[in-house]
Structure 1
């Protein structure tokens, strides 16, 4: 029996139970390869997190089976540790798997990639730590790998999560339903410790992979390993222009739109000057209410992936 020990964490509810079935298949394939597998899946993220933290120091890798939220949970568990993170996409969106170029709906190929990666050099990627303040603080460390959504995109994400459709379709439907009543948010921002600025914007996104919403490439040049995040903002755009904007994001041709801006950052603090409460979303899941601070964690997550330099964004 191999000395390697892999933790397996499958989301029992992702993609209407598909991840649970794929998780059983992955466990079987890893054990056939002689790998010691400990199943850490639980009925909730809290239970799975607690189980994984109890045995984390004994693991070579943690393999997560599910969508972007499950990948983020895995990142929270392994960030800043030697434990490598393996990904088998089995959710509804799978945007982070797309960013890595991982095969979708092919558990056998994913396991082959994981097994091959065990003998390959470690690939380290950046992550994002999200910190709420005061009453908005979360009870556990909050880490994202893909993006933090802080504007209209967060509202759409919240509505899409409540719909039972295919991911891309439900995201588009949620967008159309949020649009009629939307007005820009009055933000304040502090970027990399600089002075506070005020900004009225439709969209504010902090991007690491730059892909969300079932394939939208909001930050086409974003890279996972460059020691920098991309602060994406969209200002001075009306509802009609916004409706035309989002289809262009799927093609990555939106960067020339008036009011669109993108800049490299390492840390932002952001809140609203007045108005309603706004919850941040990251990797498809709800996080802390604004105000928050989001900061770069350079090279914090060691991937179990068969990729070489230049193979991923």
Structure 2
């Protein structure tokens, strides 16, 4: 049976559009060399997540591989389509965060065209009925989203996360979320499946996407300099040794309250407490052969 490759790319990114043309030409030439009557389906993103998911589901019914060219939000959309299917997920990083790609050691956008590949069977996080590839969060992570408008991401790129953090740390306390947790208030609550959030901050250094143990990071309400010290320790891979934070691992958590939005992989999804768990052997991910995850 002929192969089918679906290429889904972030239409708002000029780099993603250019990379999509290169990969379309690459796979077409590959099928000719292999004398394979395969086809390439190219799908640009739209303003509607629901619309993109419907188009991807239709296209992936006969696909062997889905190449997503974009950031973590684009990866999340594709993961919610290919979950529990034989379609392989291939990620070409083009975004401000790229935490999923970073977790897999994927940096050069040409890697899929140049590198021998293998397939990794991995877990997905589940928040209520939605899947996530990196993390789910409320409070601080949502506040940071609001501090990164589209113009800042486009102009500053990866630096937009650092700028947003500085704006958060040294900005007004009145603009911070306060999320209720047991007998106190948190500045933020995060549950991570992968190692990183926010453009490379290592919140779950021992993460393993094959076993899928989740890490919950609670950020209690604290002073400005306490938060800065805690952040510096986290950046140094010392999140578990940071007394100011609440760190624990398990297969299931609950985060959020009824007053604050909850985001998955950088997109708002809920406004209520969320039950977070793990779906094992959920997706097939294409990675460089010999890559240690």
TM bin, normalised by shorter chain, reads 0.7 to 0.9
Is the Cα contact below 8 Å between 1:210 and 1:217 reproduced in 2? yes
Is the Cα contact below 8 Å between 1:208 and 1:229 reproduced in 2? yes
For structure 2, list consecutive stretches of 5 or more residues without a partner in the other structure: 32-37
Give the deviation of 1:198 after TM superposition.
Answer: 4.4
Give the deviation of 1:51 after TM superposition.
Answer: 1.1
* Partner residue in 1 for 2:41: 38
Establish whether residue 303 from structure 1 lines up as the match of residue 285 from structure 2. yes
Give, in whole Å, the separation in 2 of the partners of 1:266 and 1:158.
29
Counting only pairs closer than 5 Å after superposition, residues 124-139 of structure 1 correspond to structure 2 as: 124-131=121-128
Aligned residues between the structures = 281
Give, in whole Å, the separation in 2 of the partners of 1:230 and 1:199.
20
Which of residues 231, 240, 262 is equivalent to 2:225? Answer: 240
Give the deviation of 1:207 after TM superposition.
Answer: 0.7
Structure 2 CA distance for partners of 1:307 and 1:151, relative to 1, 3 Å = farther
Establish whether residue 289 from structure 1 lines up as the match of residue 271 from structure 2. yes
Give, in whole Å, the separation in 2 of the partners of 1:249 and 1:167.
22
Which of residues 112, 115, 120 is equivalent to 2:114? Answer: 112
Give, in whole Å, the separation in 2 of the partners of 1:166 and 1:79.
33
* Partner residue in 2 for 1:201: 186
1:98-140 Cα offsets, whole Å, 9 max, x none, are 1000123x32x23334xx43xx4x4111111222xxxxxxxxx
Give, in whole Å, the separation in 2 of the partners of 1:58 and 1:171.
38
* Partner residue in 2 for 1:80: 84
Give the deviation of 1:199 after TM superposition.
Answer: 4.6
Give, in whole Å, the separation in 1 of the partners of 2:76 and 2:10.
12
TM-score by length of 1: 0.81
Give, in whole Å, the separation in 2 of the partners of 1:241 and 1:168.
25
Establish whether residue 266 from structure 1 lines up as the match of residue 251 from structure 2. yes
1:221-272 Cα offsets, whole Å, 9 max, x none, are 1121113211112335321111233233333134322222322222223332
For structure 1, list consecutive stretches of 5 or more residues without a partner in the other structure: 132-140, 189-196
Structure 2 CA distance for partners of 1:245 and 1:304, relative to 1, 3 Å = same
* Partner residue in 1 for 2:34: none
Establish whether residue 181 from structure 1 lines up as the match of residue 172 from structure 2. yes
Structure 2 CA distance for partners of 1:51 and 1:216, relative to 1, 3 Å = same
Give the deviation of 1:209 after TM superposition.
Answer: 0.8
Counting only pairs closer than 5 Å after superposition, residues 140-151 of structure 1 correspond to structure 2 as: 142-151=130-139
Identify which range, 242-251 or 219-228, moves more after superposition.
242-251
* Partner residue in 1 for 2:3: 4
Counting only pairs closer than 5 Å after superposition, residues 28-67 of structure 1 correspond to structure 2 as: 28-34=25-31, 35-44=38-47, 45-67=49-71
Give, in whole Å, the separation in 2 of the partners of 1:184 and 1:49.
31
